[in-house]
Amino acid sequence: MRIGSTLENQNIEKRVAITPEIAKKYIGLGFEVILSENYAYHLGIEDNEYSDIGVIISKDEKEIINSSDIIIQLGLPDTDKNNLLKENQTLIGILNPYNNEDRINDLVKKNINVFSLELLPRITRAQSMDILSSQANLAGYKAVIEAFANFEKAIPMMMTAAGTIPAAKVLVVGAGVAGLQAIATAKRMGAIVLATDVRMASKEQVESLGGKFLTVEGAENLETEGGYAKEASDDFKKKQEELLSENLKKIDIVICTALIPGKKAPKIIKEAMINQMKAGSIIYDLAAIQGGNTDYTEVDKIVEKKGVKIMGERNILNKLPTSASNLYAKNVFNFVSNLYDKENKKININLEDEIIEKTLIK
């Protein structure tokens, strides 16, 4: 069987789905691997690093798609590439089925096996395949670095003969994987960190990292069985708004990470709250691509309101493409290993396996 991957649109996505280390593992399982010419050149990886271990390098992307049993990408391929896919092929990636429903349905109608990895269940057996966790971990780290780089004051407390510089105060909104990594990174750099989340289970995790958890009075645990946040009630939102309004007056940097799978990001930081923040403060919004957690977030822009800078990028992982590619490639390899029947050398779509059943789009 053959696994193929084509170069992503470099304006949108700099990560790659197959690294040389992982290509070698696929070949060890018995697969052939075929990749686009200059597949990872932008990451400093020459084609010979792939070809030396047995990878086929092709200039013809049509050939790659036509000849592959499994196509592995980051996002959903563009329409021209999608149209090349044929019956019984398997497409694996972060395909965003909520926003690409029509295009994915067209593939399903052609009897193409479409697996979207952001739908993985949060079970122990799926942890090594969990692309959301591996990528969010890096995003939380990088969001803090980007926010601190734009903050025009020192982060840790500094005591000098001329006086004391107080530590910056950071608020992390949403204490999932990205939020927890943001807390850990900000603490390591000497900031005072506060955090809030609709899931009460997050309190212990936040405090274990040295953060202070802001608890909404009378809060209920808004967590799905899969471990994700679910939408809060109007009463909860009102109480959360009051709590944030009071605390934001003293905050220097806000890292927003709140997302609800399949829906627009909740608007948490409102205009009135931003108006009360100190001039020079920074808001970094990791939810920008899904509408943002603030009233002013714009994708790939720094918006300034009353001296407060609001930042949000389409894909912050393009600033860490090598690390992100290494983790993504390993996640996908573990997924393919679970899907592949090595003895019979074929894909085994066993719908009794929760991992396969949840990620297959039917």
Same domain, 296 and 351: no
Same domain? 100 vs 202: no
**Residue 202, domain CATH:** 3.40.50.720
Q: Tell me, yes or no, whether 279 lies in a domain.
A: yes
How much is the pTM? Answer: 0.90
The tally of domains found in the chain comes to 2
- Position 262 confidence tier, pLDDT thresholds 50, 70, 90: low
71, 90 contact by CB (below 8 A): yes
Establish if 354 belongs to a structural domain: yes
130 is catalytic: yes
Domain that holds residue 330: 2-119+321-359
- 240 included as an active-site residue: no
Q: For the chain, what is the mean pLDDT?
A: 92
Q: Does residue 166 sit in the same domain as residue 20?
A: no
Instruction: Encode pLDDT of 38-76 as tens digits.
Output: 999 999 999 999 999 999 999 999 999 999 999 999 999
Residue 126, in any domain of the structure:
no
> Is 313 found in the same domain as 341?
no
Calculate mean pLDDT across residues 109-134: 94
Q: Buried b / exposed e across 229-261, counting CB within 10 Å, b at 16+?
A: beebeeebbebbbebbeebbeebbbbbbbbbbe
Active-site residue, 228 included: yes
Q: What is the pLDDT of residue 200?
A: 82
State residue 195's pLDDT score.
96
Are residue 262 and residue 193 in the same domain, yes or no? Answer: yes
Same domain, 335 and 290: no
Which among 36, 73, 89, 133 is annotated as catalytic? 133
Confirm whether 41 is a catalytic residue: no
pLDDT digits (tens, 9 = 90+) for 169-209: 999 999 999 999 999 999 999 999 999 988 888 999 999 99
CA angle 10, 12, 15 (to 5 degrees): 65
pLDDT reading at 132 higher than 70: yes
Is 280 contained in some domain?
Answer: yes
pLDDT band, very low/low/confident/very high, at 142 (cuts 50, 70, 90): very high
> Which candidate in 67, 98, 103, 122 is catalytic?
122
Active-site residue identified among 68, 130, 202, 281: 130
Q: Catalytic: which of 125, 127, 235, 341?
A: 127
122 is catalytic: yes
* Active-site residue, selected from the candidate residues 228, 245, 295, 353: 228
pLDDT at 263: 78
Do 303 and 245 fall into the same domain?
yes
**Residue 290 within a domain:** yes
**Dist. CA 144–CA 186, nearest whole Å:** 7
